[in-house]
Amino acid sequence: MLKRIVGITSLALLPFTAGAATLIIPAAGTGPGANGSQWSSELVVHNASSSTISIDLVYHDAGGATKPKSFLVGPRTTVTSPDIVRNVFGLTSGTGAIEIDVDDAAASHLAITSRTFNTSSTGVFGQDIPAVNVTDAAGLGDLSVLAGPSFASDFRFNFGAYAVTDATISWQLVRSNGEIAAGKDVDYKAGTQFQYNNGIVTLLGSTAADGDVIYATVTKGKAIVYGSSINNASGDPTFVPGIRTRADTHIVFGVDVNEDGSIDIKDADNDGVLDSPVRADTERPRRRRKGHHRVGAVGRPARQHADAAAQGDDQRRLGDHLHPRPRQVARSRG
């Protein structure tokens, strides 16, 4: 159990309140892993104030959240749990996220960190995983970049996400040369955590290559994404934070020939020239006002009559709108 912590179990999951700060450790676990690895997560909390501070801890995984557990951290004390998922939340195997709730006024007095490590016959290898404030989570339109291993054959690359709210993430595999090799959109319920072990294979259905990068674009809600590279021989992990950025916004120019709101002829290669020719008449036909009869071909000049006969098919198809003037439409593409 947490050392030097007095703990009581709350009866219900407490809602977020305006006076509470919420921190998320996006990955924590316990139990066996690939290649004979044995994992556990350590939580360290230090209270730098001269007063006792109360914190609530909640464990989240793919199935949702546990009931919160409340603890008191004494003044200027440090408390540690060497295997928090097992010792505090009672699980013998699993991977999830840990939520820490504390009053806003007390949050600035706490130093919270975690370490997930693999214990093997050759030693103990670990990675520090920092706590992230939910206010810093990636939101709508944010792109989080996860850099994969430089040597894909020597490492496996796990990655995952914690959903602060109901969220949708567009995952993409980007090769070192810029090629988008695979992609998948995934919906997440608020308060769930998913980790994809060897995710390039298991989630994206592709194969890993040197210098791969994972794009995680939030298209709905808020989420925290992360990754971890693990050496296959030693089991030594390296935490990979999601670096928040934004992709370029591209403007696609083209012509909406039939005025239905969609681009019919594009300039897809952005060279300033439409990809196929378009006929653009210089005049629009006049519309008939209500109650007026259509003027027939009798009495038209010979040239106008000949043109009307040649364009008979267009008249039957388009009615009074014989040749609408094409209009340019600018569209934004992700």
pLDDT tens, residue order, the chain (334 aa): 444 333 333 323 334 444 789 999 999 999 998 888 899 999 999 999 999 999 999 999 999 999 999 999 999 999 998 899 999 999 999 999 999 999 999 999 999 999 999 988 888 999 999 999 999 999 999 999 999 999 999 999 999 999 999 999 999 999 999 999 999 999 999 999 999 999 999 999 999 999 999 999 999 999 999 999 999 999 999 999 999 887 666 555 677 777 765 576 776 666 667 777 766 554 454 555 555 444 444 444 444 444 444 444 444 333 343 334 444 444 444 4
- Give me the residue label for tokens 């004979």: 36
Pair 117, 147 in one domain: no
Pair 39, 126 in one domain: yes
Pair 23, 78 in one domain: yes
Beta carbons of 106 and 49 less than 8 angstroms apart:
yes
**Residue 292 domain flag:** no
d(CA 79, CA 87): 14
d(CA 135, CA 139): 9
Pair 233, 270 in one domain: no
Domain-ending residue, one of 136, 153, 176: 136
Q: List the strands of the sheet with 193-196, edge to edge.
A: 193-196, 155-163, 223-231, 237-241
In 3D space, the residue among 102, 89, 116, 87 whose CA is nearest the CA of residue 25 turns out to be 116
Domain-ending residue, one of 119, 136, 153: 136
How many structural domains are present in the chain?
3
Q: Write the CATH number for 55.
A: 2.60.290.11
Beta carbons of 131 and 113 less than 8 angstroms apart:
yes
**Residue 293 domain flag:** no
**Residue 97 domain flag:** yes
CB neighbours of residue 98 within 10 Å: 27
**Residue 295 domain flag:** no
Helix (H) or strand (E) holding 118: strand 110-120
Q: Which two tokens stand for residue 75?
A: 């003044």
Pair 241, 308 in one domain: no
Beta carbons of 61 and 99 less than 8 angstroms apart:
no
**Residue 294 domain flag:** no
Pair 209, 262 in one domain: no
Domain that holds residue 31: 1-136
Domain-ending residue, one of 136, 162, 181: 136
d(CA 152, CA 154): 5
